[in-house]
Amino acid sequence: MDKREIILQHYSKPQNKKRMESEEYTKENTRNSSCIDNLDIYIKIKDSYIEDITFDGEACAISISSASIMTKNLNKKSVREGLEYIKNFENMLNEKEYEQNILKEAIVYENTKNTSRKTCAWLPYDAAKKILEKNI
């Protein structure tokens, strides 16, 4: 599959897209001030491990697919590993050195050269990072 197909697949059939009411989950809202992307990220952390991670909300194809891929990749990782993964993703977006194999499918956003789309790809990560940093 080419990059575009991967993005479209995660957009049309996003994984882990569900709202979590349970108190076991920490919720963090993330939105783009210049547009209307608006997502909630839910993470259940137990013994410094990400036991479950989901998202819900309304956003563009890049943000939704990015959230889908992110939740898929972060699930069952330790909080430290999760933060390491997020750091790698951030480095990729900012054209710094990063480890490709950790990012898996998330490398499809490597070429979001248009800066506003870069913000879209980063959107779910911003919320996940906040939650994980509080639980390190």
Positions touching other proteins (CB under 8 A) are 4, 7-8, 35-37, 58-62, 114, 117
Name the residue nearer to other proteins (CB basis): 48 or 114: 114
- Please state, in angstroms and rounded to a whole number, the distance separating the CA atoms of residues 50 and 97: 26
**Least gap, CB of 7 to other proteins (angstroms):** 5
**Least gap, CB of 83 to other proteins (angstroms):** 28
Name the residue nearer to other proteins (CB basis): 36 or 101: 36
- Please state, in angstroms and rounded to a whole number, the distance separating the CA atoms of residues 107 and 95: 12
Tell me how crowded residue 47 is: count the other CB atoms within 10 A of its CB. Answer: 7
Residue with tokens 């480890």: 99
**Least gap, CB of 39 to other proteins (angstroms):** 12
**3-state class of 54 per DSSP?**
strand
Contact residues for 91 (Cβ-Cβ < 8 A; gap 6+): 97, 98
Name the residue nearer to other proteins (CB basis): 12 or 94: 12
**Least gap, CB of 112 to other proteins (angstroms):** 10
